[in-house]
Amino acid sequence: EAQVTQNPRYLITVTGKKLTVTCSQNMNHEYMSWYRQDPGLGLRQIYYSMNVEVTDKGDVPEGYKVSRKEKRNFPLILESPSPNQTSLYFCASSHGTGAHYEQYFGPGTRLTVT
């Protein structure tokens, strides 16, 4: 089954404790990206990747890191989480090297930073 998976689905952590949210897709998609969803703000892009070893900042990259060492995986790293990073996070992928194709979203990761 074609899908995007994220882990963990729910995470409660404390300020400053490094964490990684994994994202994996099995559709051989070139393009992958991370979004955060906050009430009243919609979906805002954090980082995106057009292919292996190619990543770039989205609209809200501060406090986040990503890597794309393999085509199928695109982990999101929070080196020192803060309470303002409490949010619902979605990973997405699409074929082609851009977001001008259908984005397939993962199930979401709800992160709470205390």
Partner 1 sequence: GENVEQHPSTLSVQEGDSAVIKCTYSDSASNYFPWYKQELGKRPQLIIDIRSNVGEKKDQRIAVTLNKTAKHFSLHITETQPEDSAVYFCAAFGNEKLTFGTGTRLTIIP
Of 23, 24, 48, 87, which one interacts with partner 1 (CB under 8 A)?
48
> Quick check: 10 binds partner 1 (CB under 8 A)?
no
Kindly identify the residues of this chain, within the stretch 14-33, that bind partner 1 according to CB under 8 A: 33
Q: Which long-range contacts (CB under 8 A, 24 or more apart) does 72-75 make?
A: 72/24, 72/25, 72/26, 72/28, 73/22, 73/23, 73/24, 74/23, 74/24, 74/25, 74/32, 74/33, 74/34, 74/49, 75/20, 75/21, 75/22, 75/23
Of 5, 50, 67, 112, which one interacts with partner 1 (CB under 8 A)?
50
Pick the closer one to partner 1 by CB: 17 or 57: 57
Pick the closer one to partner 1 by CB: 85 or 109: 109
Of 1, 10, 40, 69, which one interacts with partner 1 (CB under 8 A)?
40
> Quick check: 59 binds partner 1 (CB under 8 A)?
yes
> Quick check: 43 binds partner 1 (CB under 8 A)?
yes
> Quick check: 102 binds partner 1 (CB under 8 A)?
yes
Cα separation, 36 vs 12, in Å, equals: 16
Q: In which residue are the tokens 């082609």 written?
A: 96
